[in-house]
Amino acid sequence: MTARIIDGKAFAARVREKVKDHVTRLKEDHGITPGLAVVLVGEDPASQVYVRSKGKQTVEAGMKSVEYKLDADTSEEDLLKVVQQLNDDPEIHGILVQLPLPKHLNEDLVIGSIDPAKDVDGFHISNVGLLGTGQKSMVPCTPLGCLMMLRDHHGSISGMDAVVIGRSNIVGKPMAQLLLGDSCTVTIAHSRTRDLPEVVRRADIVVAAVGRPEMVPGDWIKPGATVIDVGINRLDAPEKGEGKTRLVGDVEYESCAKVAGAITPVPGGVGPMTIACLLANTVTACCRANGLPEPEGLTA
Ligand code: NDP
């Protein structure tokens, strides 16, 4: 068997188009422009790239984009003031504080200060609780993107056995909640899981969110299973030239693609879906704030 490749790049482009259509309707019918504010503290190069990309895609979708770039030594008090200002701004519907924050800032405190209705990353404890109890919430972008791809590929995933490898608050746990919400039978595996290969072999759906390059080989995969690779790992690639690198996921693509029914590649799988879902969450937050119907197919 050769797996069908789930093209996250193309899927993300479709999500962005849907977002753009909805934004146009919000403007034309209601005179509302959704607004996203991204707050970056410090000069982490990877974060700067993400923030630039988020801003660009927000504008391309017809939304208002605001960026706050604060010095690395910004005090907690000043950062909290910026968040409060954004919480109070009626033109801002989504607030994202780019993580990681410099060490002297308490991430839990800062995320906890965001209005949960504007928490488009879905990291606020209220949203975590709402998701955990099956209520309407803001859903973390990466797991939301994975769910959208699974729904698109399978139609319904109800009753399927899903194994999520990784139990982080930003990917593994919310992913498991979303799969449970769609009535999968869910196992969450982690570094203490006994006989991980056997656990993974039971799965109709495998979501790998570990951060270990090519950790999952093809012989862990049940024939025909769907493999969603969240991992983004940069490896040296001397074959491409001195100092060059390449991206790989948490699954060994070549061997898994021979056994799986469908698989997301790295790059070009889950990665592009994350920002697309951030835009989707911003539109959802804007609709909720204005008491308008939410866009179909863009929420969990
Ligand atoms: P974390 O480091 O926060 O979590 C990793 C998880 O993997 C932990 O729960 C850990 O278990 C588990 N783990 C580590 N080693 C093993 C092992 N040998 N066997 C089984 N489980 C193991 O990572 P994140 O969740 O933040 O990210 C995971 C990956 O996803 C990374 O590659 C990251 O770059 C990528 N990522 C991609 C995004 C995208 O947009 N596509 C967005 C976010 C992340 P334990 O809890 O026991 O330590």
Residue 286, judged by CB atoms within 10 A of its CB (0-12, 13-18, 19+), counts as buried
Is 130 inside a domain boundary?
no
HSE (side-chain half, CA atoms, 13 Å) at 42: 17
The per-residue pLDDT for range 257-274, each reduced to its tens digit, is 999 999 999 999 999 999
pLDDT at position 171 over 80: yes
Same-domain check for residues 263 and 161: yes
Asked if residue 83 lies in contact with residue 97, where contact means CB atoms within 8 angstroms, the answer is yes
Give me the domain span that covers residue 234. 141-272
**Ligand 1 site-directed mutation target among 230, 234, 252, 274, most atoms within 8 Å of CB:** 230
How many C-alpha atoms does 142 have within 13 Å on its Cβ side?
A: 21
Predicted local confidence at residue 112, as pLDDT: 98
pLDDT value for 65: 98
121 is catalytic: yes
Structurally, the chain folds into a number of domains equal to 2
Tens of pLDDT, residues 15-61: 999 999 999 999 999 999 999 999 999 999 999 999 999 999 999 99
State in Å, rounded, how far the first CA of the chain is from the last one. 31
Residue 139 near ligand 1, beta carbon < 6 Å? no
> Does 54 contact ligand 1 (Cβ within 6 A)?
no
Q: Residues 82-120: pLDDT tens digits?
A: 999 999 999 999 999 999 999 999 999 999 999 999 999
- Ligand 1, residue 231: give the atom nearest the CA: 32
Distance between CA atoms of 191 and 78, rounded to whole angstroms? 38
In this predicted structure, the answer to whether residue 72 has a pLDDT above a threshold of 80 is yes
Q: Identify whether 136 is part of a domain.
A: no
pLDDT for residue 216 is more than 80: yes
Residues 154 and 99 in one domain: no
Q: Is the pLDDT of residue 1 over 90?
A: no
Residue in the structure block whose two tokens are 């061997």: 255
